[in-house]
Structures are given as C-alpha cells and as structure tokens.
Amino acid sequence: MDLLFAARYPFVDSVSEIPEISSVSAEDVVSSPYMEDVRRRGLSRVMEALESAEIGTPSLLGKSDRFTEIMSYPYARILVSCVNDRYLTKRYALAEASRAADYLEEEDPKRIDAIARTVGAKTQIVDGEFKMHFADYLRLASRIKGSEWKLVNHDVGKGFVTLPKGKFVRLLQNALQDRIESELPLDVPNAIANAVRGDVDAISYILADRKSRFATEFTGDLNPDHLPPCIRALLGGAQSGTNLPHAGRFALVSFLNNIGMGSEQILTLFSQSPDFDESKSIYQIKHITGELYGREGYTAPECKTMKTNGICVNEDDLCAREKVNHPLIYYRIKSGTGRRD
C-alpha cells in the first residue's frame, strides 16, 4: 500500500502494516514534539466535523503531508473516544466517511473495489460496472430517501444491483460511516487520555456550546405518555441522534406542531441529529409548520399514511380501536384534550 492511498483512507486495516506507520507508538503521537502537526490536524478533523459535518482535504503532495494525514486519524479517534459523546461520535463518523467518499469519486474501479471489501459489502466490479448484492444495497440505501433510490428502479439480476459509480460510492460512504462509528469509542489508556486533555477540553467546550444553543426547554405540557407509539419512536430517534427518514421528520414535526409546539421548540429536538444543519432544519420545520408563509401548517399524516411510509410501529391496544385512525386522535384520547376543530 502506498502512503497516498493510506492518507486518503486511513481507516483501512492494512495501513498499520506500513513500516513508517507501525513504528510510531501512541505515546509518540500524543506527546512527541515532532508530532505537533499530526495533533493539530487531528484536532481539526474533530472540530471541522463538529462544526460543519465535513472534513477538508489538505494537500497530500509531499511525503510528510501524507504521514501527517495518516497519523492524525488515530489521534482524532483518541480525542473522540475521550469526549465519548454519542452526538459527536456520529457526526465525526459522518464527516470522515464523507471525506473519504470525496476521494473515492475520483478513484479507478480497482481502488473503489479495495475499499468496498474493507466494509464487508458484497460487491462485484466487472468491466467498469459497479454491482452490489441487493441485501447490502437495501441495508445501505434504505436510509436515503427518494424514488431514484428505490430498488425497483435499478437493474437487478442474480442477486446483484448494477449501479452508476456515484451511487455506488454514496453507499460505500454509508457503510464507512457505520464502520467508523461502530469502532468508537476506543479503550484509551489513562496515560494517553491525560496527555490529550487539552484538546479534549477544547472539543468538549465547543460541543457544550453547540448543544446549549439548541437546548431551550419545551415549556408546554408535553407528556411522553400521551404520545402514540409511532411519534414516541420518532421522537426517541431524533433525540438519540438517529437519522430519521424524510417521512418520519415530516410526521414528527407536523404532529408536534399540531399539538401546540412552535418551530423553535421543535428545532431543539432535531439538534441531536448527526447531520443537523441549523439553517436547513429551521427552514424545513418552518415549511411544515407554515410559519415560513404565515399560514396554517400541515396536518400530521393519518395512520394509513404512516403505515404506507413504514413508520407505524409498536401498535398498542388504543391504536387498534376502530375510531383511532390518526395519531392526533390517539393523543387527544390519552391527554384528555378535546378535538380542536
């Protein structure tokens, strides 16, 4: 493996077999004066991820550039592990995967194949055609919405989905994100953790600040016990930092708005999402609540629609009652509030 490849994809297992890399100890990385560039780049990987969910791609022309880029990856992982915050970890994994995908777009099929193999996806790249086993395709594509990602709109034969390069790389990005996230946090020895305390504190400070900006409390009387199981699941997902599908976000925002929450309050709930983008989110929320145009917002989808969209989950006895055909009816019964209209 050459250093350039390793610098682009430092998560590949065989990177640690490169002599220049394997000879460096963790102690060196965190404390050697010769590793200052490595630590600076490592910290910026995490900070950039935190602030914009993206990590820039520096020049990799010289050998030392490449070395710094490679070694900064394990350093960044030590930092993320020491902070050990679910939101940060998810956002960092997203940014690292998207950085790698930017490089992958430009690679030839052989190299893309090499990366595909490291994430355990069953793929075939033959004569410039990119193919992925349909089960891997579904696992990686189901979180991306839009009819162009439906399985039915792809050529499927003998178990494999034929994909254009761009889509194939986009799916690898999801797989990389899963992998990077699943490896964190690392078990960091105390001596190492102490040595990186300064950088960890800096990240924690920015992280806390970012969270507090969105942490205004909902002061209305939202009792989670009154929420229907579908909305409870979506809310739980949003708060634990899971990426919700579009239909899920729409249902959650419109529902919360229908029961009286304002756009800002709803925004705080979404701020936990790993790909959270404040300006984009507030726009989407205000679109649904109608605030953007100064008119009435959308009404939350009925149970039938929720079912079609696959977000009707954990149906309970109350859901099963004949007249309960809408999440809002469930809420009104549970909370004892009358119909609004």
Partner 1 sequence: MDRNSRFLLKSFRKYYLANAPPMPPRYGRREFGFMFFDRDYVQRHMGFQTPADLRRFMVGQVPSHSYYSTAYYRRPGAPTMDEKEWMGADLIFDLDADHLEGADEMTYAGMLEEVKKEMIRLIDTFLLDDLGFPEEGIQIVFSGGRGYHAHVSLQSVLGLGAQERREIVDYVTSTGLDVDRLFPAVGTANKVSDTSDGRRASVRFNREIPPKNSEGWKKRAREGFEVLVEDVCTLPPQELRSKYPTLGKKNASTVANLSNDLRKHRKFIMENDRMNPMDTFRQELLVETMKEDVVPRLAGEVDEPVTADIKRLIRLPGSVHGRTGLRVVPLTRAELTGFDPFLMAVPEEYSDEPVQITMRRPYEVTLKGERFKLNGTVEVPEYAAVFLVGRREAEIGDGSPDPGPF
Footprint on this chain of partner 1 (rule: CB under 8 A): 122, 133-135, 138-139, 142, 147, 150-160, 162, 245, 310
In sequence order, what E strands does the chain have? Answer: 123-126, 129-133, 155-157, 160-163
Distance in angstroms (rounded) separating the CA atoms of residues 272 and 306: 23
Smallest separation, CB 156 to partner 1 (Å): 4
Smallest separation, CB 330 to partner 1 (Å): 20
* Closer to partner 1 by Cβ: residue 61 or 320: 320
Smallest separation, CB 138 to partner 1 (Å): 4
Nearest to residue 140, comparing CAs of 159, 158, 120, 157?
Answer: 120
Nearest to residue 92, comparing CAs of 169, 180, 5?
Answer: 180
* Closer to partner 1 by Cβ: residue 126 or 191: 126
* Closer to partner 1 by Cβ: residue 154 or 170: 154
* Closer to partner 1 by Cβ: residue 153 or 190: 153
Smallest separation, CB 207 to partner 1 (Å): 30
Smallest separation, CB 293 to partner 1 (Å): 30
* Closer to partner 1 by Cβ: residue 160 or 330: 160
How would you class 228 by CB atoms within 10 Å of its CB: exposed for 0-12, middle for 13-18, buried for 19 or more? buried
Distance set, CA 287 to CA 133, 269, 277 (Å): 38, 16, 15
* Closer to partner 1 by Cβ: residue 120 or 220: 120
Give the SS3 label for residue 322.
coil
Smallest separation, CB 94 to partner 1 (Å): 20
Phi-psi region of 59 (alpha: psi -120 to 50; beta: other; left: phi over 0): beta
Smallest separation, CB 152 to partner 1 (Å): 5
What is 15-38 written as a DSSP string?
A: GGGSHHHHT--HHHHHH-GGGHHH
Give the SS3 label for residue 281.
helix
* Closer to partner 1 by Cβ: residue 149 or 214: 149
Q: What is the CA radius of gyration of the chain?
A: 23
